[in-house]
Chains A and B, each alone.
Chain A
Amino acid sequence: EIVLTQSPATLSLSPGERATLSCRASQSVSSYLAWYQQKPGQAPRLLIYDASNRATGIPARFSGSGSGTDFTLTISSLEPEDFAVYYCQQRSNWPSSFGPGTKVDIK
């Protein structure tokens, strides 16, 4: 099973700041990586798939990059509704697996 690690565990930022989240895979997943946002009491929401493609309805301030084992989710300017937990997920090898998450909270 491919293990995903995310850093940092917590990111404390202010609205308007830029957020950079990292996801690293234990082996290459090519570009088969997604990012999800989860708010308390809600199901995860797909943001990015295939490393860099925004899902339907996702604002342009969210962008993804990377390939192989190192990936980044960038939120260019944090809006109040962006404070949440973010998970990466790989679908390169089954079973699919998720990272442990990065919490973006208000500084």
Chain B
Amino acid sequence: QVQLQESGPGLVKPSQTLSLTCTVSGGSISSGDYYWSWIRQPPGKGLEWIGYIYYSGSTYYNPSLKSRVTISVDTSKNQFSLKLSSVTAADTAVYYCARDYRGYFQHWGQGTLVTVSS
């Protein structure tokens, strides 16, 4: 059974870059069947899809965040990562990584809360 686990700082200062990593276990990130996504949820609010990456490195980002987002993959470590630049308080959220099969998210990490504050 595939498992995903997010890791990274829980506190980021305004204007800095948020960096998170998702480690995948129980399955290979290089499987051609899946895409690997980041999704976030501000406290008490709904879900926002951030973007995805394929094992080859091809990406697609939500246009609302595209100018600030970079998603990368390290197949040797079975990990993929998120960088979000120039953060503000509005980027405070629980960040989830998820396995994307045909555009649906069946497997999720537990989520990690990132707070943007000085």
Contacts and interface: CB of A to CB of B under 8 A. Distances in A.
Interface of A: 1, 32, 34, 36, 42-46, 49, 55-56, 87, 89, 91, 94-101
Interface string B22-65: 00000000000000000000000011110000000000101110
B106 A46 contact: yes
B72 to A, nearest CB: 19
Given A43-B111, A44-B96, A94-B60, 17 more contacts: A1-B63, A1-B64, A34-B104, A34-B105, A43-B98, A43-B108, A43-B110, A49-B102, A89-B47, A91-B102, A95-B49, A95-B60, A96-B103, A98-B47, A98-B48, A99-B46, A100-B46
A36 B41 CA distance: 14
Contacts of A45: 108
Contacts of B104: 34, 46, 49, 89, 91
B98 to A, nearest CB: 8
A52 to B, nearest CB: 13
Given A95-B62, A96-B103, A44 B108 contact: yes
Contacts of A49: 102, 104
Contacts of A46: 104-106
Contact of B46 (A34, A55, A101): A101
Contacts of B98: 43
Interface in B97-118: 98, 102-106, 108-111
A36 B111 CA distance: 16
Contacts of B96: 43-44
A46 B104 CA distance: 8
Contacts of B106: 46, 55-56
Contacts of A99: 46
Nearest to A55: B106
